[in-house]
Amino acid sequence: MRLKKGLMISAIATASILALGACAGGGAEEETPAAPEVEEFEAGTTMAELNEAGKITIGTKFDQPLFGLKGLDGKPVGFDVEIGKIIASELGIPEDGIEWVETVSANREPFLENGTVDLVIATYTINDKRKEVIDFAGPYYNAGQDLLVLEGNPEGITGPEDLEGMPVCSVAGSTSEANIAEYGVELITTDTYSNCLEPLRSGQVVAVTTDNVILAGLADQNPGEFEVISNPFTEEPYGIGLTHGDTEFRNWINDLLEEIYEDGRWADAWEATAGTVLKTPEPPAVDRY
């Protein structure tokens, strides 16, 4: 259960009053205000285990600008990463207690099933097939599948209907691959979306397809080379993947998401990352299935 904020504020206020009293007494050493209390978790829950361990392993993308991109220091940066940091902080885990594991579309479910990671926050679309083997908290963002083409759109592509029989690149094991296959394209797949860019440059494919926010990040990272059609043809609710059947952990993360929607931390995380390129959207309603 999440502690009431009023109790935490009262504890901090009491510590402050004691410190002021010590100062007023003259000669007494000033006491250091108490640190904010860490939430108390019910024994046996995943939250309690992670809190006690003081560390968490989170799977995320390392090649997707704005959401999960490996930085110069070897650590990923982006909106997904910031959401992960907030979750870790609420579990009482500092940033240096987070182990980031590169997670691509094809290994997200296996990593959760075999315990390689505790969570997956990796532009991970919630769908019923995935719910058969893992659980989702969220969504924490709603994206839509779109198309990336060469700057100037030389083929005049306006949507997936224009791509029948044409070569298109996507990532194996992704929702995007399954969606675009329905349009009769000549599908070329790879393990990461960044690996689709060279085939697009060389003319091996006429378009790359995945979620619009991912494509916007790739275009922004390669100015003057590519453009997004900006005609989304699906809805892609991004969720936080966790072990199947861990209802307490899922509910706790959902509670936290609703909290950060209200207190501004979600918007702050967006504006510091994806918001440098994209407008700040309204956060989606959490789906408590």
Q: How far, in Å, CA of 97 to CA of 106, rounded?
A: 26
Query: What is the tens place of the pLDDT at every residue in 7-30?
Result: 333 333 333 433 434 444 444 444
pLDDT for res 285: 97
pLDDT for res 38: 63
Query: What is the tens place of the pLDDT at every residue in 249-285?
Result: 999 999 999 999 999 999 999 999 999 999 999 999 9
Query: What is the tens place of the pLDDT at every residue in 41-79?
Result: 999 999 999 999 999 999 999 999 999 999 889 999 999
Instruction: Evaluate whether 238 touches 143 at the Cβ level (below 8 Å).
Output: yes
Mean pLDDT of 162-183: 96
- pLDDT-derived band at 91, boundaries 50, 70, 90: very high
Q: How far, in Å, CA of 169 to CA of 52, rounded?
A: 44
pLDDT for res 37: 63
Instruction: Evaluate whether 168 touches 187 at the Cβ level (below 8 Å).
Output: yes
pLDDT for res 39: 74
- Tell me which of 3-12, 38-47, 236-245 is least confident: 3-12
> What mean pLDDT is reported for the chain?
89
pLDDT of 83 strictly over 70: yes
pLDDT for res 153: 97
